[in-house]
Amino acid sequence: MSEFQKAIFAAGCFWGVEHLFRKQEGVISTRVGYIGGERPNPTYEQVCTGVSGHAEALEVAYDPEVTSYKELLLFFFKMHDPTTKDRQHNDIGSQYRSAVFPVDAQQEDITVRVIDKLNKKNIYGAKVVTTIEPLQEAGPFYEAEDYHQEYLLKHPDGYNCHILRRDLDFSDI
């Protein structure tokens, strides 16, 4: 049995990001939280007002024998708009930025190559502005308050601005 690996993504409001990722084959667990800011142990109120500098993010534990980091990364790029800086739909501010937080050099290399290919192919008709913030520079991932975990499972009619773009062709990325 393999050890699980971790990936961290930010793509706007973390409720919808978690809702889509948790359904992916190979994903063992998810938890929403905050990363990439200055304050230790930020609260939701500090993050959502933009004063902490953190992004709403999702930490994914996955089985590398079932799915790969690259597959999860490509899924990330299909479920949000990576061409808008500090914005996803109606959510505006750096806390809603599109960002990847590679946990090691291999994830960082894969992320750089994928973004380069997406831009060269002009998949979105605009440049990908997703930031790459290596974990060692971004700081710790702080788990969000309990009421945010699996929010859309508990509140099926809750706010969700994410849809899966099945029309995007990533076959040669």
Every domain of the chain and the residues it spans? 5-154
Percent share of the chain, pLDDT over 90: 90
Asked if residue 72 lies in contact with residue 110, where contact means CB atoms within 8 angstroms, the answer is no
The answer to whether 76 and 130 have CB atoms below 8 angstroms apart is no
Please tell me the predicted confidence (pLDDT) of residue 164. 87
Q: Which CATH superfamily is domain 5-154 in?
A: Peptide methionine sulphoxide reductase MsrA (3.30.1060.10)
CA distance 93 to 48: 8
How many Å apart are CA 87 and CA 97, to the nearest integer? 6
List, by residue number, the catalytic residues.
13
> Which tokens belong to 5?
């690996």
Chain centre to alpha carbon of residue 142: 14
Phi, psi of 33 (to 5 degrees): -175, -160
pLDDT reading at 166 higher than 90:
no
In which band, very low, low, confident or very high, does the pLDDT at 161 lie, cut at 50, 70 and 90?
Answer: confident
The closest alpha carbon to 140, from 14, 17, 62, 33, belongs to 33
Q: Is the pLDDT reported for residue 71 higher than 90?
A: yes
Could you tell me the pLDDT band of residue 2, with boundaries at 50, 70 and 90?
low
